[in-house]
């Protein structure tokens, strides 16, 4: 921690690096486009009209700000720190994903691109992308692993209703990483007219930066809301991390508030000694999908299959800024298993009348573990990143219930 900058919010550097992570590891064909995107994003950042259109869509289309809900019954049940939920599940399309999609489709429009592609795991990002594509009248193709297509049928149907073409990817493990490979293959062959809306804070620079910036509305709002409700900053933030876009969105505005402890929750699947998706706990740095970051891999650098009950966390990597925050110790990353997430999914539903996404249930599980160890005067904000309606079939299956 010797040469840390005064602020942890200034990254990445000009080459897109967060410490040793990030960068632009893409085929030469894509490099000029990546550089174009960066130029266009720099211009958009200082363009008040761009910001105004983004803010207007978040307010009037997405329904922001999302509430910060004091989960009193959950708090009472756990008997420790006061738990607030940042209700990203109440956004249009039911998750935080739409924030980023609004930002990126405005960039696509700015760059004159006429076709949209995206990858999706759980289908939340696919639905959000198909939604903004419909709103802006652009044709849209969503790449989704065939396994995910099977386990997320309602979202597949939603995307189709929204006018998107859904391509079931049959290569590799047929999940999120394979969907991303296929989207990159499609993009490289269609760079002239196609904009790739990446759904998380991964991929080549400037994606991790711009996705984070578009998602930071979560943390900016949460900060204002907690100051209004409690007159002070929280003691802790907790968010689930797959690629890590909802987490970085909540965390980033608080990175320089040293009194705020920050916890990211990785999907430990069947446990860290079995099949899991915890790249930080069980992986090491490597290069995949355009950036250097912690990856699940073998000693030869072959990527190993991730597993999580939550399709949205089922990815063998993590955003490069998280890898950096992990290495410098600013954010603590904890694993939560499928079984723990499943229990918390049911608990939050019964106690608060909120059905969380399985992704979000991982963060709830960590809160259940941590809150009782803290005093009642402490405050935790948990990111309820999405709603769980999409997961009811998976949960029913796990509970042995036939629908």
Partner 1 sequence: MTRFASAFAKGPALIAFITAGDGDTAANLDALVAGGADVIELGMPFTDPMADGPAIQAANLRSLAKGTTTGDIFAMAAAFRHRHPDVPLVLMGYANPMTARGADWFAAECAKAGVDGVICVDIPSEEDAELGPSLRAAGVDLIRLATPTTDPARLPAVLDGAGGFLYYVSVAGITGLQQAAQASIEEAVARLKAATDLPVAVGFGVRTPEQAAEIAKTADGVVVGSAFVDIIAAHGDGAAPHLEAFTRTLADAIHRAKEIAA
Q: Does 237 bind partner 1 (CB under 8 A)?
A: no
Q: Select the residue interacting with partner 1 from 27, 52, 328, 401 (CB under 8 A).
A: 27
Cβ-contact 246, 383 below 8 angstroms: yes
CB of 177 or CB of 347, closer to partner 1: 177
- One of 206, 286, 312, 319 touching partner 1 (CB under 8 A): 286
Catalytic residue among 119, 221, 340, 359: 119
Q: How far is the CB of 29 from partner 1 (least distance, A)?
A: 4
Q: Provide the 10 A C-beta neighbour count for residue 19.
A: 18
CA atoms within 13 A on the CB side of 375: 3
Are the C-beta atoms of residues 123 and 156 closer than 8 Å to each other? yes
Least gap, CB of 186 to partner 1 (angstroms): 9
Task: Could you list the beta-strand ranges (E) of 54-197.
Answer: 68-70, 82-87, 115-120, 140-145, 165-169, 194-196
CA atoms in the 13 A half-sphere facing the CB of 341? 33
Region near partner 1 per CB under 8 A, out of 81-89, 266-274, 294-302, 340-348: 294-302
Going across the sheet that includes 332-337, the strands are: 68-70, 82-87, 379-384, 236-241, 261-269, 332-337
- The DSSP letter of residue 66 is P
* 43 counts as binding partner 1 under rule CB under 8 A: no
Piece of the chain touching partner 1 by CB under 8 A; list 22-30, 40-48, 360-368, 390-398: 22-30
Residue of 38, 323, 385, 390 with catalytic role: 385
Among 26, 106, 248, 371, binds partner 1 (CB under 8 A): 26
Q: Is 119 a catalytic residue?
A: yes
**For residues 100 and 297, which CB has a smaller minimum distance to partner 1 in the complex?**
297
Residue 109 a catalytic site member: no
Q: Is 347 a catalytic residue?
A: no
By rule CB under 8 A, what string of x and - marks binding of each residue 163-202 to partner 1? --------xx----xx--x--xx--xx-xx----------
Main-chain phi, psi angles of 83, to 5 degrees: -110, 120
User: Which listed residue (9, 10, 13, 32) binds partner 1 by CB under 8 A?
Assistant: 32
Site map (CB under 8 A) of partner 1, residues 245-284, x = contact: ----------------------------------------
Identify which of residues 33 and 395 has a Cβ nearer to partner 1 in the complex. Answer: 33
Provide the angle, in degrees to the nearest 10, between the axes of the packed helices 97-110 and 31-45.
100
25 near partner 1, judged by CB under 8 A:
yes
CA–CA distances in Å: residue 36 to residues 107, 205, 310: 11, 11, 34
Pick 103 or 283: Cβ nearer partner 1: 283
- Cβ closer to partner 1: 292 or 347? 292
Total residues at the site for partner 1 (CB under 8 A)?
36
Q: Which of residues 195-234 bind partner 1 (CB under 8 A)?
A: none
Neighbours of 377 (CB within 10 A): 9
Residue with token string 């930080």 = 280
From 86, 97, 223, 347, active-site residue: 97
Strand partners, 119: 143
Select the residue interacting with partner 1 from 116, 198, 295, 342 (CB under 8 A). 295
Cα dihedral sign, 110-111-116-119: negative
In 10 A of CB 7, how many CB atoms? 9
Residue 281 CB neighbour total at 10 angstroms: 17
Distance CA 175, CA 119 (A): 10
Q: Give the one residue of 29, 72, 153, 373 binding partner 1; rule: CB under 8 A.
A: 29
Element (H or E) spanning 270, and its range?
none
Closest distance between partner 1 and the C-beta of residue 199, in Å? 17
- Residues marked as catalytic: 97, 119, 385
Q: Which residues bind partner 1 (CB under 8 A)?
A: 15, 23-33, 171-172, 177-178, 181, 184-185, 188-189, 191-192, 286-290, 292, 295, 297, 299-303
């Amino acid at each position: 921690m010797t040469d840390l900058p005064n602020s942890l919010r200034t990254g990445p550097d000009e080459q897109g690096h967060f410490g040793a992570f990030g960068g632009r590891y893409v085929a030469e064909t894509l490099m000029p486009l990546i550089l174009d995107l960066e130029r266009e994003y720099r211009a958009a950042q200082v363009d008040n009209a761009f910001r105004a259109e983004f803010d207007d869509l978040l307010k009037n289309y997405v329904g922001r700000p999302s509430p910060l809900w004091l989960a009193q019954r959950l708090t009472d049940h756990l008997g420790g720190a006061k738990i607030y939920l940042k209700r990203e599940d109440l956004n249009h399309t039911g998750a935080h994903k739409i924030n980023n999609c609004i930002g990126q489709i405005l960039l696509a429009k700015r760059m004159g691109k006429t076709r949209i592609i995206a990858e999706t795991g759980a289908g939340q990002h696919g639905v959000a992308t198909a939604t903004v594509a419909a709103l802006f009248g652009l044709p849209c193709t969503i790449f989704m692993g065939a396994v995910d297509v099977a386990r997320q049928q309602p979202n597949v149907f939603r995307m189709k209703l929204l006018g998107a073409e859904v391509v079931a990817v049959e290569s590799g493990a047929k999940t999120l990483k394979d969907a991303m490979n296929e989207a990159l293959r499609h993009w490289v062959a269609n760079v002239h007219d196609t904009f790739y809306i990446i759904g998380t804070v991964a991929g080549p620079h400037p994606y991790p930066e711009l996705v984070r910036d578009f998602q930071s509305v979560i943390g900016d709002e949460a900060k204002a809301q907690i100051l209004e409700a409690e007159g002070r900053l929280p003691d802790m933030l907790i968010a689930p991390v797959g690629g890590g876009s909802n987490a970085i969105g909540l965390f980033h505005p608080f990175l320089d508030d040293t009194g705020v402890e920050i916890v990211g929750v990785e999907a430990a699947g069947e446990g860290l000694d079995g099949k899991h998706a915890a790249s930080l706990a069980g992986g090491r740095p490597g290069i995949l999908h355009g950036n250097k970051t912690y990856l699940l891999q073998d000693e030869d650098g072959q990527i190993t299959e991730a597993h999580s009950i939550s399709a949205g966390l089922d990815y063998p990597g993590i955003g490069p800024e998280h890898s950096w925050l992990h290495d410098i110790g600013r954010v603590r990353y904890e694993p939560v298993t499928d079984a723990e997430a499943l229990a918390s999914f049911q608990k939050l539903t019964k106690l608060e009348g909120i059905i969380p996404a399985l992704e979000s249930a991982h963060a709830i599980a960590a809160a259940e573990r941590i809150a009782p160890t803290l005093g009642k005067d402490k405050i935790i904000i948990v990111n309820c990143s999405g709603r769980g309606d999409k997961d009811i079939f998976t949960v029913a299956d796990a509970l042995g219930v036939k629908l």
